[in-house]
């Protein structure tokens, strides 16, 4: 068998076969709207149930957008004008099997919740200090814990 082996004939057994080139995973980015409502010193963040099919299917997460501008337009339309200017938070990097995801959280402070949020629907105010029993993706759970420890909750 070694008579037909190119590596043995050329003395290159240690280097052949060569390592396969790792294929670069595609990267995706999205903006998370961290809409916070503060009442009596306790903060809550708006979350929505994600569609059952797709990324983090059926779990709860802040609304997700393609851009900061789209997030702010939605906020103004659904929740009203933010009380203070939006603030960007540290990005969240998360690796999936087939792609890398970078989430850019955009924090806004909102007034009292309006008609856009009804308990029991597909949106709710997630109280950071006393969280409801809903499923969150791990990166979102970590973000909420950081917010709670930073005093937002």
pLDDT tens track for 2-48:
677 877 777 777 777 777 777 788 999 999 999 998 877 788 999 99
d(CA 131, CA 17): 54
Strand-pair partners of 108: 35
Q: What is the pLDDT of residues 96-138, one digit of tens each?
A: 988 999 999 999 998 766 544 555 688 999 999 988 899 999 9
Return d(Cα 132, Cα 8) in angstroms, integer.
65
Tokens 């797709």 sit on residue = 54
Place of tokens 């709207």: 33
Mean of the pLDDT values across residues 138-152? 89
* All structural domains of the chain with their residue ranges: 26-152
CATH code for the domain defined by 26-152: 3.90.79.10
């Amino acid at each position: 068998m070694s008579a037909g082996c190119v590596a043995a004939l050329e003395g290159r057994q240690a280097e052949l076969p060569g390592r396969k080139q790792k294929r670069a995973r595609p990267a995706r980015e999205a903006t998370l709207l961290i809409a916070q409502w503060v009442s009596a010193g306790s903060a809550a963040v708006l979350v929505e149930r994600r569609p059952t099919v797709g990324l983090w299917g059926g779990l709860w997460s802040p609304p997700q957008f393609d851009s900061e501008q789209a997030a702010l337009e939605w906020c103004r339309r659904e929740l009203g004008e933010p009380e203070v200017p939006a603030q960007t938070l540290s990005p969240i990097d998360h690796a999936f099997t087939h792609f890398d995801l970078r989430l850019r959280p955009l924090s806004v402070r909102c007034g009292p919740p309006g008609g856009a949020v009804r308990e029991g629907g597909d949106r709710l105010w997630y109280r950071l200090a006393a969280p409801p029993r809903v499923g969150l993706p791990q990166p979102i759970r970590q973000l909420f814990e950081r917010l709670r420890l930073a005093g937002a909750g």
